[in-house]
Amino acid sequence: AQSVTQLDSHVSVSEGTPVLLRCNYSSSYSPSLFWYVQHPNKGLQLLLKYTSAATLVKGINGFEAEFKKSETSFHLTKPSAHMSDAAEYFCVVSDRRTSGTYKYIFGTGTRLKVLA
Amino acid sequence: DSGVTQTPKHLITATGQRVTLRCSPRSGDLSVYWYQQSLDQGLQFLIQYYNGEERAKGNILERFSAQQFPDLHSELNLSSLELGDSALYFCASSEAKTAYNEQFFGPGTRLTVL
């Protein structure tokens, strides 16, 4: 079965400094990978996705992620954090099942805190 | 705004009761997915419908059921509620038949079972 591991449950950065949120996955197939963001009391919003095209994926709000097959990683980065980036971030792998259907497998989330 | 709507926003009920959560997908999306988010279990996939038919099943309890109607809105029915069913329930929608691509999430329904 496929799985996804978010290596940090909490990350704190100062405003204007780089952000790195780490995600490792395991997959027997060519996976689809996603990063979603959840602001307090809101639904999940797609930041970016990897579906076997370019390995460096650019998303919204200045975020990007690099798919590294050799390291089975899909880390999320942003060059300069903004106060509005404070939220919970979920790494998601799309799991292909034996039935041929797919389902999302969510990481446990990383709560990003941005300090003024 | 994702274009996915969910009602109600909050629901408070007692153990043993039954509730219905409603979801309207984005215009044109044929797939609806239901998820449960709780502190101890995290985000879990419950069930997917595509164009009115059940497409994939996840960790959905037998006390829970769902359906998708001809107008593509979906309902999640939770019965014989237990304290542990308290959670945030999200629905999401997508164009595709499979969960290989992105999904668009609604704002969620927060269920509290007392």
Q: What is the pLDDT of residues B54-79, one digit of tens each?
A: 998 988 999 999 999 999 999 999 99
Dist CA B14 CA B67 (whole Å): 23
The pLDDT, as a whole number, for residue A88 is 96
pLDDT tens string A50-104 = 987 788 999 999 999 999 988 999 999 999 999 999 999 999 998 776 666 777 8
For position A19, what pLDDT does the model report?
98
Residue A27 pLDDT: 78
Q: How confident is the model at residue A34 (pLDDT cuts 50, 70, 90)?
A: very high
A91 alpha carbon, distance to own chain's centre: 3
- Which contiguous run of DSSP H or E holds residue A14? strand A10-14
Q: Please give, rounded to a whole number of angstroms, the shortest distance from the CA of B56 to a CA of chain A.
A: 7
A34 touching chain B per CB within 8 A? yes
Chain A, 44 to 63: residues with Cβ < 8 Å from chain B are 44-46, 49, 51
Residue B82 has pLDDT above 70, yes or no: yes
Confidence of residue B24 (pLDDT cuts 50, 70, 90): very high
The reported pLDDT for the residue numbered B77 is: 98
